[in-house]
Amino acid sequence: MTDRKDRIAAELVAVRERSLAYTDADDETLMRQHSPIMSPLVWDLAHVGNYEELWVLRAAGGIAPLRPEIDDMYDAFKTPRRNRPSLPLLCPDEARRYISGVRGRVLDVLDAIDLDAPHPLHRDGFVFGLVIQHEHQHDETMLATLQLSGRPGLVRDGEPPPGRTGGPREVFVPAGPFRMGTDTLPWAYDNERAAHLVDLPAYWIDRFPVSNAEYAAFIADGGYDDPRWWTPEGWEWRCRTEVTAPLFWERDGDAWWRLRFGRIEPVPPDEPVQHVSWFEADAYARWAGRRLPTEAEWEKACGWDPAAGRSRRYPWGDEEPGPGHANLGHRIARPAPVGAYPAGASPYGAEQMIGDVWEWTGSWFLPYPHFRAFPYREYSEVFFGHRFRVLRGGSWATDPAAVRTTFRNWDFPIRRQIFAGFRCARTATPEEAAGGGWA
Ligand code: AVJ
Ligand code: FE
């Protein structure tokens, strides 16, 4: 095998080890639906194998279906999440056998194909990128399910690097065009294409994601009880759900505790807040006299290199993420404190844009100019419109293979089980814009 093929094979092995680790539990834990908005873990497990069968074996490899009778059950569109527990799902052992049978043939396809062929699924191993990223995305979903389950154990944890305070709280991004999206990253999704110029007025964006301490100040100031900070839909949601704090937070007098993977612990003040909905993020920003960044503002601050006139793959450059760059790949089971990754700063000086928490943006999930669905409409196209908000940057639970400066994620504005937080932005005053940030 070539180096490129070895690399793909290693990524396939790594993601499968991860999926098996999250499902190394008794059958009852795997078959149960822990929350109506999530699948039983065993559904995710068989689904990633079925997706691999559909795309690598059938579409790219021309191999006849192994188990066509299970396709509908593992098709996310034919079977909504709430119906999944009532299906005759493969039991955990059957699911593990099925996905490992698929995987064996996937490695044969990898061996046989030409990565330089003009075939759009074969070229640069696109179809392998598709299934590797897909499985990592489901692994992150499984972690959210495990968090919702309240089950202790199973989820590995580690020590976060120390945070760092001091220095500016926001960074200035001068007015001007930048190139958004990509035409060249071989494993980019259809929704990240095509690259296009976006001209933005000058703005400020937070250097770090909003911390738990900052968010607690919003709560203490009555932020959840003041409709001035909320959009009408957000206020309606807040009143109907009676939400008064991030998901998994518990109040004890003046102190806050949180449930994290089955353990109760004090809320760490310097950690980026997570498990807030878009409505809460948006309300906080208004309370703080700011707003959420647009998706374009987020991407420019994260990846644009003004000196080189090009976008970087990661804020620090094109180098693969190392442990000093960003909190990715579930090295630890939580966001690291703000300031923990100075080496991961972007050209404009924004930190922790990749990793730690997904960041809500102010934008709806819409297609870029010249969007073309590839390889199927149900990955992105059917979600475009004014229903989903864009999230950027990945979380501690996101694998490096499934995030980059151009990567777009999306969810309903009410969702809180995902590992999402946010940072704020504001439009620069004319004086600031003219003075390079100095008014
Ligand atoms: C891009 C994370 C919103 O999990 O619903 C998984 C990814 N697409 N299987 C999701 C996805 C098909 C998707 N998100
Ligand atoms: Fe899927």
Please check whether residues 234 and 382 belong to one and the same domain. Answer: yes
Please check whether residues 103 and 234 belong to one and the same domain. Answer: no
The predicted pLDDT at position 435 comes to 87
The predicted pLDDT at position 56 comes to 98
What number is the average pLDDT over the span 313-333? 97
389 assigned to a ligand binding site: no
Share of the chain above pLDDT 70, in %: 100
Atom 1, ligand 1: residue with shortest CA distance = 409
Residue 365: pLDDT over 90 = yes
Choose the final residue of a domain: 149, 166, 186. Answer: 149
Instruction: Give residue 9's domain range.
Output: 2-149
CATH code, domain with 215: 3.90.1580.10
Please check whether residues 375 and 396 belong to one and the same domain. Answer: yes
Residue 400: pLDDT over 80 = yes
The predicted pLDDT at position 135 comes to 98
What number is the average pLDDT over the span 61-89? 90
The predicted pLDDT at position 84 comes to 79
- CA–CA separation, 59 and 114 (whole Å): 15
What number is the average pLDDT over the span 32-44? 94
The predicted pLDDT at position 1 comes to 65
Q: What is the mean pLDDT of the chain?
A: 96
Residue 165: pLDDT over 90 = no
Q: Determine the distance separating the centroid of ligand 2 and the alpha carbon of 129, expressed in angstroms.
A: 14
Number of domains in the chain: 2
Atom 12, ligand 1: residue with shortest CA distance = 379
Please check whether residues 60 and 170 belong to one and the same domain. Answer: no
Partnered with residue 339 across adjacent β-strands are none
Give residues with Cβ within 8 angstroms of 62, minimum separation 6: none
Ligand 1 pocket residue status of 134, Cβ below 6 Å: yes
Ligand 1 pocket residue status of 75, Cβ below 6 Å: no
Please check whether residues 137 and 205 belong to one and the same domain. Answer: no
What number is the average pLDDT over the span 347-369? 98
pLDDT in tens, 375-390: 999 999 999 999 999 9
pLDDT in tens, 96-114: 999 999 999 999 999 999 9
> Mean pLDDT lowest for which of 130-134, 241-245, 435-439?
435-439
Would you put residue 237 in left (φ > 0), alpha (ψ -120 to 50) or beta?
Answer: alpha
DSSP codes of every residue in 199-237: EE--EEEESSPPBHHHHHHHHHTTGGG-GGGS-HHHHHH
Choose the final residue of a domain: 149, 173, 190. Answer: 149
Residue 417: pLDDT over 70 = yes
96 assigned to a ligand binding site: no
CATH code, domain with 61: 1.20.120
Q: Determine the distance separating the centroid of ligand 1 and the alpha carbon of 309, expressed in angstroms.
A: 32
What is the position in ligand 1's atom list of the atom closest to the CA of 408? 1
- CA–CA separation, 391 and 276 (whole Å): 12
Looking at all shown ligands, the one closest to residue 140's CA atom is 1
Identify which of 45, 137, 360, 395 to mutate to test ligand 1's pocket (most ligand atoms within 8 A of the CB): 137
Q: Determine the distance separating the centroid of ligand 1 and the alpha carbon of 411, expressed in angstroms.
A: 9
- CA–CA separation, 136 and 19 (whole Å): 8
Q: For residue 209, give the amino acid letter.
A: P
134 assigned to a ligand binding site: yes
Q: Determine the distance separating the centroid of ligand 1 and the alpha carbon of 233, expressed in angstroms.
A: 25
The predicted pLDDT at position 102 comes to 98
Ligand 1 pocket residue status of 410, Cβ below 6 Å: yes
Ligand 1 pocket residue status of 238, Cβ below 6 Å: no
Please check whether residues 386 and 349 belong to one and the same domain. Answer: yes
| pTM for this entry | 0.97
The predicted pLDDT at position 262 comes to 95
Atom 9, ligand 1: residue with shortest CA distance = 134
- CA–CA separation, 199 and 376 (whole Å): 30
Residue 242: pLDDT over 90 = yes
pLDDT in tens, 200-218: 999 999 999 999 999 999 9
Please check whether residues 193 and 216 belong to one and the same domain. Answer: yes
Q: Determine the distance separating the centroid of ligand 1 and the alpha carbon of 420, expressed in angstroms.
A: 15
76-108 burial string, b = 16+ CB within 10 Å, else e? eeebeeeebbeeebbebeebbebbeebbebbbe
Please check whether residues 163 and 255 belong to one and the same domain. Answer: yes
Ligand 1 pocket residue status of 141, Cβ below 6 Å: yes
pLDDT in tens, 329-345: 999 999 999 999 999 99
- CA–CA separation, 215 and 167 (whole Å): 20
Please check whether residues 143 and 232 belong to one and the same domain. Answer: no
Residue 350 and residue 276 in contact, taking contact as beta carbons nearer than 8 Å: no
Atom 14, ligand 1: residue with shortest CA distance = 409
The predicted pLDDT at position 438 comes to 79
Residue 181: pLDDT over 70 = yes
415 assigned to a ligand binding site: yes
Looking at all shown ligands, the one closest to residue 74's CA atom is 2
Please check whether residues 405 and 276 belong to one and the same domain. Answer: yes
Pairing of strands 255-260, 196-200: unpaired
Residue 118: pLDDT over 80 = yes
Virtual CA dihedral for 404, 405, 410, 415, nearest 10 degrees?
90
The predicted pLDDT at position 24 comes to 97
**Owner of token pair 């450059």:** 317
Ligand 1 pocket residue status of 278, Cβ below 6 Å: no
Residue 45: pLDDT over 80 = yes
Please check whether residues 214 and 87 belong to one and the same domain. Answer: no
Please check whether residues 56 and 164 belong to one and the same domain. Answer: no
Ligand 1 pocket residue status of 361, Cβ below 6 Å: no
For the chain, report the end-to-end CA distance as a whole number of angstroms. 59
Q: Determine the distance separating the centroid of ligand 1 and the alpha carbon of 165, expressed in angstroms.
A: 35
Virtual CA dihedral for 78, 83, 87, 92, nearest 10 degrees?
100
Ligand 1 pocket residue status of 133, Cβ below 6 Å: no
Choose the final residue of a domain: 116, 149, 182. Answer: 149
The predicted pLDDT at position 436 comes to 85
Residue 52: pLDDT over 80 = yes
411 assigned to a ligand binding site: yes
- CA–CA separation, 256 and 161 (whole Å): 22
Ligand 1 pocket residue status of 145, Cβ below 6 Å: no
Ligand 1 pocket residue status of 325, Cβ below 6 Å: no
The predicted pLDDT at position 81 comes to 80
Residue 2: pLDDT over 90 = no
Residue 160: pLDDT over 70 = yes
Ligand 1 pocket residue status of 409, Cβ below 6 Å: yes
